Structure 1
Amino acid sequence: MHVQIPVTVHQARLGPQEFQVVRPAQPPRRALLLDEGPYLNAYVDQAAARLLAGLWSLAATSPRSLIHVPLRPNGAGSPEPGSRPLDLVLLHHSLQFAPSRWKELRGRLGPGRRRSVSAPASEPEIDHEALHHAENRNRFHQHLHAETLFMTGSAKVFRESAGHFREVARHGPAHVRDATRRGHYCARLHPGDTRTREIHIEYSDSWPDVPA
């Protein structure tokens, strides 16, 4: 089963190399990605969680593209003092793109071409134990550059981790609205590497600065 995602596709050249950047045609309206010291926290509503799940899956099937998700300028609430809002870029490790070149590449992107792309709507079962094996190569590598979090990994790790966002989209709304529960629903994306920070993905249906 697949889902269709409206995107814009951008082409830009840096020296002799040409890169393709894919962005959602409509960035998520109720989503924030924050660098909060030792933690990376993502706050999403149901629509944003579904979109991010699709984009995460798209990264698994698009090894020659950078998947750019603009999150900072969407006006979704005001971060707490000490929080650093971030955009997100997902890319396959074989692309070998240096995050230090992102600011220049981003500045060369035009309006892009509108397209609808297909991404898997389900994910394989995750082998959590294998993530911690020393020889495991299916791990994320993180870099922060130009107010952007870069998540670099294999197709396998993108396919598997997309499920965290689907889980939040599927269970978050009912959980937080159930008066008998604590009102908090989240998933944790464990990178499986002590040098890479865990991403805490929390469902939120309270976005006071964003029109309904």
Structure 2
Amino acid sequence: MRFPVTVHRPRLGPREFTVIRPARPPEHALLVEDDRFLNAYVDRPAAGLIGGLWGLAATSPRALVHVPLRRAGDSGDAGARRLDLVLLHHSLQFAPSRWKELRGRLGAGHRRTVTVCTDRPEIDWEALHHAENRDLFHQHVHAETLFVTGSARAFRETAGHFHDVAAHGPGHTADNRHYCAQLGHGDDSARDIHIEYSDAWAGEAAPR
């Protein structure tokens, strides 16, 4: 899978960071937080793009992958909050509390085209439940952004959830059926992300 991105290299103090963003944010995608769940609503192009960016996070351990999903003026539905998304490798040890300042220094960035493998690896489900398993996601919400921190393996094994929704969601929706995937792999404090296919977009309104 090939798609365009912009690469930014902002600095905070003496340290330079690499931030990768899609050249064009997904047009029909929302990430919504309520009291207990994280819900992602996507159409086919958005699901494919986010899956590609998820896979990019697996091969870019020194970068923060930023997916802008909020729109100007978004207020979200009652009781919910719309979020952007940042994917990063745990070895970066980046503090979410610094994100707002870093985001303000991104600038225009440089355009590049990246290639990401979309083959879905076989998952050892039994190993995920071992006490010594370190391939887990950790989540933080800060500055209207969900941070998903994990290992290359965790990102590689879960990118396929988005590709699955992109491939199979349109056919199910045509028959008025719900199609979704549940993205887990988190530690005890992490919430699963419910990824739901939707082609019912009206302007910037969230699917209902």
Band the TM-score falls in, shorter-chain normalisation: over 0.9
TM-score norm. by structure 1 comes to: 0.92
* Kept after mapping to 2: 8 A contact 1:172/1:203: yes
- 2:55 maps to a residue whose letter is S
Structure 1, unaligned stretches of length 5 or more?
Answer: none
**Whole-angstrom CA distance in 2 between matches of 1:116 and 1:39:** 33
* Kept after mapping to 2: 8 A contact 1:29/1:210: no
- 2:197 maps to a residue whose letter is Y
Q: Provide Cα deviations, 1:147-189, integer angstroms capped at 9, x if missing partner.
A: 000000000000000010011011100011125xxx2100001
- 1:10 maps to a residue whose letter is H
- Tell me, yes or no, if structure 1 residue 206 matches structure 2 residue 200: yes
2:157 maps to which residue? 160
1:147 to 139, 144, 147: 144
Deviation of 1:118 after TM superposition, in Å, equals 1.2
2:124 maps to which residue? 127
2:54 maps to which residue? 56
- 1:187 maps to a residue whose letter is A
**Whole-angstrom CA distance in 2 between matches of 1:121 and 1:204:** 22
Query: Superposition pairs for residues 39-50 of structure 1, below 5 Å?
Result: 39-50=37-48
- Tell me, yes or no, if structure 1 residue 87 matches structure 2 residue 96: no
**Whole-angstrom CA distance in 1 between matches of 2:32 and 2:133:** 28
- Tell me, yes or no, if structure 1 residue 190 matches structure 2 residue 188: no
Q: Provide Cα deviations, 1:7-52, integer angstroms capped at 9, x if missing partner.
A: 0000111111100100000000000000011000000000000001
**Whole-angstrom CA distance in 2 between matches of 1:210 and 1:103:** 24
Deviation of 1:130 after TM superposition, in Å, equals 2.0
Deviation of 1:210 after TM superposition, in Å, equals 4.9
Deviation of 1:140 after TM superposition, in Å, equals 0.3
Structure 2, unaligned stretches of length 5 or more?
Answer: none
2:175 to 169, 178, 189: 178
2:112 maps to which residue? 115
Deviation of 1:193 after TM superposition, in Å, equals 2.0
Secondary structure of the 1:67 match is strand
**Whole-angstrom CA distance in 2 between matches of 1:208 and 1:192:** 33
